[in-house]
Chains A and B, each alone.
Chain A
Amino acid sequence: MFDSIIQNIFNGLQWGSFYSLIALGYTLVYGVLTLINFAHGDIFMVGAYIAFFVATFFLKAASGLPGWVVLTLTLPLTMILTACVGVTLERIAYRPLRRKGANRLYVVITALMCGLILENGNLALLGASRKSFPELVDKVIYTTGAVSMTNLKIAVILSAILVFCLLQFIVTRTKIGMAMRAISYDKFAVPLMGIPIDTIIVFTFILGSSMAGLAGLLYSMSYPILDPYMGALIGWKAFIAAVVGGIGDIRGAFFGGFLLGFVEILVVAFFPSTFRDLIAFSILLLILVYKPTGLFGIAKTTKI
């Protein structure tokens, strides 16, 4: 019994890491633009596919390369290319609307459409057949008692923590982070101070999308079957996690993601798994009823 609890805590940590990584992207964009970027889950999916194509390219082009070399090449390339996708989306879809001063509602609906375009574009271009992600690093299983860990699980959890620390540092300790916070405080006064608002917004999208790319790579290494709709559900759930944590707050997204991961895993561990989403989301609903701004959110002040 004790062993299974420990095991489930590790399972929850791994599953929560993915929610956290994606929720961070939601929160960054929301913090700066007060825009819920619903296409973010599908950017995560695109990240997973980019990781797949980059990894298979290196495995084919330079066969004989050890797996960890391929991984170190794949990791930055995936993040850069996914960031490009995120920035393109901002350029094509969100910026023109922002320039015209469109209501936030229309931007959110545009984001939803962008997500659907990414999903169905992928389906049309690559076909319905699943992709299997190649195994880049040899899996090592560490077993103590009845608790099993793999090196991949540890890497996933560590990267989520690392990314959180990095983002927290960028937002609170650097000049560009200060500019991001300034935009979230007052979008109209900021250009008057000589801060290039578009550059800062692009930077925000680069940060958020590259985190989604990283999540995509780690996810496809842990669950090595890719399909065009893989980002939809996990994107929705990560968004809920970000809201529960207090959307716009980086700590909120991080803890919200882990909270949702834990609740989902522990519900399955102690109840029939049919109840998973029912109980998990009832708990989150209860949290929101008592604290509508989320765990770390503060009503109506600067966010991020």
Chain B
Amino acid sequence: MKRTLSCVGVCLLAVLMCSPCAWGKTIKIGFNIPLTGDIPKVGEESKFAAEMLREDINGAGGLEIGGEKYTLEFIYEDNESKAESAVSAALKLIERDQVLAIVGPNSSKQAVPGGQVCDDNRTPMISPWSTNPDTTKDRPWVFRAAFLDPFQGPVAVDFAMKKFNAKKSAVLFALANDYSKGLAEIFKADFEKKNGTGSVVAFESYGDKDQDFSAQLTKIVAAKPDFIFLPNNYNEVALIVKQAHDLGWKGPFMGADAWGNSELMTLCGDDCIGHYFSTHYAAAGATGATQEFIERYQKKYGYEPADVAALTWDATRIVLKGLQGMGKVTGKVRKDRKNLREAIAGIAEVDGITGKMKFDEQGDPIKCAVVVRISEKGEFVFTESVCP
């Protein structure tokens, strides 16, 4: 028994040791994404989009850097949608896998601590989806492909004031989520600046893993706001919207980019129809390269990709552009990482499928946001676009 066990152990070890040394010239890029946990669909879409890009490049013989072709190797590490796992996943990618750059984490809850690790370890990181300013703030090694909450919050405020004639609003946010909390605070500050103090009549929070929001919603409904702002992940949105309707709420909701997920409508159903949220791109009625991406993705995986898939595509392409800008790969990981960081920081403008982006000195792109409406068919329909 003991011998069999040790035999299996040795075999496993041998397999583990051999797997990373695929011969030939490869470049390793790590993905720190949530494949399980609260938002598994986000991780899945990220992975699928990255796989599509990898097949494109490797199918064409690899990425050309300084006259030599390199095949790409993508390593997907699950961060379980948890902050602490995002840290260990980032460390694993940096130390065990010796990747040149990391794409992700997606949600700000993981991207803020993950960014710290990458910055400390001098590894370039680009978050596709994180909108919290803290992710890139004073971190020269961290970049992103999404717009920021200080831009998104006012977009939601202006849209709601125009569309619903809103004078009073209510907010329900997740306290343990950097994204949700940050955006809720930015929204509150901007709404009160434009409508006077006290115009946010209810500012309620809930904890991790909560599924009953009836007490908070009772407070919100009793305060009679003109609309409810929900900067929450799609799985929680589905519960909140249903429970608010159970408590007799008939007014509108306004959401943010974490709503934009292909799973929102299967979880939420008819309750979400007719509401609005701000996001990075609108899949319905897209044109050009965006449309081409959506069609390819849909054909390959069977459903329409959400913003996170498109942003991962863009983020990974920024990394690839940086790699090409490096000139040559020395083979020394630390030096290559440094060169890559400088190459990415030197990129002035990228024409991505989520729009044109220019980077400021913090590594944040300056790009447009769109507001979409959830149609009767469950599609996210373009309503308006706001540019900085």
Contact = CB atoms under 8 A, between A and B. Distances in A.
Contact of A273 (B205, B222, B246, B263): B205
Given A233-B209, A268-B215, A272-B205, A3 B40 contact: no
Contacts of B204: 273
Given A127-B40, A223-B212, A8 B218 contact: yes
Nearest to A229: B209
Interface stretch (B63-71, B111-119, B154-162, B234-242): B234-242
A265 B210 CA distance: 12
A11 interface: yes
A11 B248 CA distance: 13
A294 B37 CA distance: 35
A143 B205 CA distance: 26
Contact of B207 (A7, A11, A152, A274): A274
B235 A268 contact: no
A4 B222 contact: yes
B269 interface: yes
B247 interface: yes
B36 A265 contact: no
Contacts of A3: 222
A230 B211 contact: yes
A230 to B, nearest CB: 7
Nearest to B218: A7
Contacts of A130: 40, 235, 263, 267
Q: Most B CB atoms within 10 A — which of A132, A139, A150? A: A132
Contacts of B212: 11, 15, 223, 265
A268 B211 CA distance: 14
B339 to A, nearest CB: 37
Nearest to A7: B218
Interface string A124-140: 00011110100100010
A14 interface: yes
Contacts of B36: 123, 128
- Identify whether the interface residues of B are mostly helix, strand, loop, or mixed: helix
A11 B235 contact: no
A206 to B, nearest CB: 27
Nearest to A5: B218
Interface string B36-55: 11101100100000000000
B239 A225 contact: yes
Contacts of A276: 207
A273 B248 contact: no
Given A11-B215, A132-B266, A273 B247 contact: no
Interface string B258-281: 000001001101000000000000
Contact of A223 (B35, B215, B239, B263): B239
Name the interface size band of chain A. Answer: 35 or more
B214 interface: yes
A148 to B, nearest CB: 4
B85 interface: no
A269 B218 contact: yes
B219 interface: yes
Interface residues of B, number: 34
A14 B213 CA distance: 12
Interface in B228-259: 235, 238-239, 242, 245-248
B301 interface: no
A286 interface: no
Given A3-B222, A141-B248, A129 B40 contact: yes
Nearest to B266: A132
B206 interface: yes
A8 B221 CA distance: 12
A146 to B, nearest CB: 7
B216 interface: yes
Nearest to A124: B36
A160 to B, nearest CB: 15
A198 interface: no
Contacts of B235: 130, 225, 227
B27 interface: no
Given A11-B215, A130-B267, A153 B207 contact: no
A143 to B, nearest CB: 5
Given A129-B41, A135-B269, A224-B242, A274 B211 contact: no
Contact of A15 (B207, B214, B219): B214
Interface in A51-73: none
A11 B269 contact: no
B214 A128 contact: no
B175 interface: yes
B214 A132 contact: no
Q: Most A CB atoms within 10 A — which of B36, B38, B221, B269? A: B36
Contacts of A146: 221-222, 248
B218 A150 contact: no
Interface in A256-304: 264-266, 268-269, 272-274, 276-277
A139 B270 CA distance: 12
A179 B214 CA distance: 42
Contact of A274 (B205, B248, B263): B205
B305 to A, nearest CB: 15
A273 B214 contact: no
Contacts of A272: 205
Contact of A148 (B40, B211, B215, B247): B247
| Pairs of residues from A and B, 8 with the lowest C-beta to C-beta distance, nearest first | A128-B40, A268-B215, A148-B248, A128-B36, A11-B214, A265-B215, A132-B267, A223-B211
7 contacts: A7-B222, A139-B246, A141-B248, A143-B248, A146-B221, A148-B247, A269-B215
Interface of B: 35-38, 40-41, 44, 175, 204-207, 209, 211-212, 214-216, 218-219, 221-222, 235, 238-239, 242, 245-248, 263, 266-267, 269
Given A132-B238, A225-B238, A273-B216, 6 more contacts: A128-B37, A129-B41, A129-B263, A141-B245, A265-B215, A273-B207
